[in-house]
Homo-oligomer: A and B are copies of this chain.
Amino acid sequence: MKYSKATNYALHTMMYLVASETNKPVGVQQLADKQDVSPTYLSKILTKLVKAGLIESASGAGGGYRLKGRREDVSFLEIIHAVEGTASLFDCCGNTHSQCAIHRVMLASEEAMEQKLRDTKMIELADALPRK
């Protein structure tokens, strides 16, 4: 029951992209250097963000990744869901019957966490990031 490291990498990358002034594509090599991850692995993670519509990629020389939507809209939850998936943390016997009280409590608590993550946008704290 932990976030995968991939989530960590995705969050840091997105934070960098949101905080960056320009809108030029940034190569995965450059992004990977800042977090000492192998570029190929980071690329695999960022592809998930592309498919989720958070960023877009440009192939070929001078290519890389850049934000797709408005930078003010990027929330923590979107990133986490793109990497970890949107399934519930609590998967019981399959039947998501709303009769079960245990199930309801677990879902409600999970929703409380997601609400906070949905409400917090990356741009809110992009300035607190140490200059790179």
| Oligomeric state, in copies | 2
Q: Tell whether A61 is near chain B: CB-to-CB under 8 Å.
A: no
Q: Is the CB of B116 within 8 A of A112?
A: yes
Residue among A4, A84, A99, A117 having the largest count of chain B Cβ atoms under 10 Å:
A117
Q: Are A101 and B125 in contact (CB under 8 A)?
A: yes
Report the stretch among A24-32, A43-51, A66-74, A87-95 that lies at the interface: A87-95
Cβ-based interface call for A17 (8 A): no
- Residues of chain B with a CB closer than 8 A to A8's CB: 90, 92
Interface residues of A (CB under 8 A from B): 1-4, 7-8, 11-12, 15, 76, 84-85, 87, 89-92, 99, 101-102, 105-106, 108-110, 112-117, 120, 125, 128-129
User: Nearest 8 pairs between A and B by C-beta?
Assistant: A101-B125, A113-B113, A109-B116, A101-B128, A112-B112, A1-B84, A109-B113, A112-B116
